[in-house]
């Protein structure tokens, strides 16, 4: 009686998938501690490099970036940044419920989750990507200090339509100035471009961008102390 062959092909496929998954997990686990000292390049930047498109990024240490901009980013993008462990659980629960109810996603990404996505994942709305962002953000917050997370974010965020990454390139393109010389108008207008830097031009702001910039400045005036964790000595000079 002929013996049944074992489905070796299936096991090879499963083994290959397991190895690939292990590598994907190992990349952020290994690289995140390295980024305490090494200035990273984001996935969107790598994509542009590999496709021959220009990348404009000049790294700036966090001490060389306007405190107004740091506070405006936090009060606009992630008001609980200094308090949570990489993930805003309240906002995340609301986002999950919206998904289960079939409602449109409103976004619950913290600054740390955005750093995780830009360093290790891909853009585009996806429940899978969002699920991966959560443990990555918790790990990043565990390994990196808040000031370093903010420094990385401000240097890898896309800030213009022609491959401008980081606040130095964004401020130069929009206003022709360096990021430590931002007044309230320029700082808050730069922040309004972050949700859609391909279309929003802070150097030529729409009426809506000007209105949002004013709201951000009001938030900072009222809740600016919530951003103190990224300031020198635990305090921002606003």
- What are 101-119's pLDDT values in tens digits? 444 555 568 999 999 999 9
Asked if residue 98 has pLDDT above 80, the reply is no
Residue 14: pLDDT band (50, 70, 90) is low
Query: Which pLDDT value is given to residue 234?
Result: 87
pTM: 0.87
The 10s digit of each residue's pLDDT in 118-157 is 999 988 777 788 888 999 999 999 999 999 999 999 999 9
The mean pLDDT of the chain is 87
Query: Which pLDDT value is given to residue 222?
Result: 95
Please give the CATH topology (third level) of the domain spanning 10-234: Penicillin binding protein transpeptidase fold (1.10.3810)
Query: How far apart are alpha carbons 73 and 147 in whole angstroms?
Result: 13
Express the helix, strand and coil content of the chain in percent, nearest 5 each: 60, 0, 35
Q: Residue 163: which of 67, 17, 14, 58 has the closest Cα?
A: 58
Q: Residue 78: which of 124, 115, 118, 131 has the closest Cα?
A: 115
Residue 194: pLDDT band (50, 70, 90) is very high
Average pLDDT over residues 203-209: 95
| Cα–Cα distances in angstroms (integers) from residue 79 to residues 73, 75, 194, 199, 220, in the given order | 9, 5, 15, 24, 10
Asked if residue 166 has pLDDT above 60, the reply is yes
Query: Which pLDDT value is given to residue 138?
Result: 95
| Cα–Cα distances in angstroms (integers) from residue 100 to residues 71, 92, 206, in the given order | 33, 12, 35
Query: How far apart are alpha carbons 52 and 64 in whole angstroms?
Result: 30
């Amino acid at each position: 009686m002929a013996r049944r062959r074992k489905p070796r092909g299936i096991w090879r496929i499963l083994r290959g998938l397991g190895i690939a998954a292990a590598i994907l997990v190992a990349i952020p686990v290994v690289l995140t501690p390295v980024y305490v000292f090494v200035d990273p390049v984001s996935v969107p930047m790598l994509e542009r490099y590999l496709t021959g498109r220009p990348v404009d990024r000049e790294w700036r240490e966090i001490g060389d970036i306007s405190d107004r901009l740091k506070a405006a980013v936090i009060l606009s993008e992630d008001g609980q940044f200094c308090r949570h462990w990489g993930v805003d659980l309240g906002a995340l629960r609301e986002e999950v419920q919206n998904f289960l109810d079939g409602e449109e996603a409103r976004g619950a990404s913290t600054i740390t989750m955005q750093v995780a996505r830009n360093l290790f994942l891909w853009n585009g709305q996806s429940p899978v990507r969002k699920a991966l962002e959560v443990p990555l953000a918790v790990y990043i917050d565990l390994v990196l200090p808040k000031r370093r997370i903010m420094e990385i974010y401000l240097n890898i965020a896309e800030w213009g339509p022609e491959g401008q990454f980081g606040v130095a390139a964004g401020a130069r393109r929009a206003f022709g100035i360096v990021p430590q010389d931002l007044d309230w108008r320029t700082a808050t207008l730069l922040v309004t471009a972050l949700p859609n830097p391909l279309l929003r031009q802070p150097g030529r702001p729409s009426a809506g961008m000007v209105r949002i910039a004013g709201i951000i400045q009001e938030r900072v005036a009222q809740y600016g102390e919530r951003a103190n964790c990224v300031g020198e000595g635990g305090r921002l000079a606003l």
